[in-house]
Amino acid sequence: MSGDLHISTAVIVVAAGSGTRLGAALPKAFVDLAGQTLLERSLRSIILLPYPVQVVVVAPADFVADAEAIAHKVAPGLEELVSVVNGGTTRHDSVAAGLAAVQSSVEVVLVHDAARALTPTTLFADVDMAVQATGAGIVPALPVVDSLKQVDVTGGVLGIADRDQLRAAQTPQGFPRAELEAAYAAAGSSDYTDDAAVFAANGGAVTTIPGDEVAFKITTAWDLNRAHQVLGGIPDTHRVGTGIDVHAFGEAENLWLAGLHWPGEKELSGHSDGDAVAHAICDALLSAAGLGDIGSRFGTADPAYADASGEVFVRGTIELLAASGFEPINVSVQLIGNKPRFSPRREEAQAVLTEWVGAPVSVSATTTDGLGFTGRGEGVAAIATALVRQR
């Protein structure tokens, strides 16, 4: 693209928001999402438009250089079309700073939150074309699907809101450039929730077009995890591990399994209490965190663990994870054996194991239709899968 191109559309990308609710040490536009920052992903969607647009990134003062490096990476050689300016202390001030940097030839301005990093290119084009066709302010929006209640200050329900008349607003929001500049000049320091509100407060007409489900705003850690799932992966701070444990039945009727005592059932042989479910959980958690296995961590013949309960090993494993900066997210266990009959005590076992781990633990059980050592009633096996997060 050369400097003599007539640019009629500009996109202001607001990247000055903090990462407080996201729990990040950086402004959220600079947080990583599967190998790319939120800002980088937003810019890539814009650069893929089939026609040239001016892009103005509004960044925190301390991150202007970072934003410029990201812009150069996404759009090398397009310095005349992609620029970065300092943001203000409020979103209103930041958008105003972006407007001041828009080229004189621009007739339509789109304002986009970098935190909506998965917004597709088609939505930018749809908003731009709708502004050109109607001369109105355009907001992409989705129907509200939840039941909505109007409440008082104590939380008491006053009434039901008609969701058929409500929409959840997204970005980019588009406007005729002259009218948007006039609206911002008239607004002064007033606090508005979005650019459409500023535009409407100055008499501008605003209408909606269909939004896109993936254009959601990444505000919390839950949102970031959802974005990873949309992209088909899990965050690179998450680890998965698998653990397998097998024990044969002994003679004494003193079975401990899945954290529960089973009166009248033969115990599982082993140096400790032989709780195969608890031991498999430990191996899965240790494997996920790269901390070895239960044998290397607790020993297979250490007198200190003679007849030790599964709780000792699970809680000890959680302490090892914490010391290495990991925390469990959830564990799933498959118990294999003909006895004891597990289903009547499944929820009881899950509650005990969840309390030990400090994260949800689910346990399912199956038999092998009489096949193998479990089918012959010689012992049990347990297979566990754990997901942990590095803090």
Residues flagged as binding site: 245-247, 271-272, 279, 293-295, 366-369, 373, 376
Please name which of 313, 309, 310 lies closest in space to residue 321, comparing C-alpha atoms: 313
- How many helical (H) and strand (E) elements, i.e. helices and strands, does the chain have? 12, 18
Bridging pattern class, strands 32-33 and 36-37: antiparallel
Contacts of 217 (CB under 8 A, 6+ apart): 113, 115, 116, 170, 223
Binding site members for a divalent metal cation = 245, 247, 279
Q: 174: which 2 tokens?
A: 């588009």
SS3 at position 179: helix
Find out whether 29 and 39 touch, Cβ atoms under 8 Å.
yes
Count how many Cα atoms sit within 13 Å of the Cα of residue 29 in the half-sphere of its side chain.
Answer: 26
* Cα 258–chain centre separation: 31
Find out whether 290 and 279 touch, Cβ atoms under 8 Å.
no
Q: How far is CA 150 from CA 109, 153, 169, in A?
A: 35, 10, 19
Q: 54: which 2 tokens?
A: 């001016």
Sign of CA dihedral 385, 389, 390, 391: negative
Gap between the Cα atoms of 218 and 226, Å rounded: 9
Please name which of 338, 355, 332, 337 lies closest in space to residue 280, comparing C-alpha atoms: 332
Count how many Cα atoms sit within 13 Å of the Cα of residue 23 in the half-sphere of its side chain.
Answer: 7
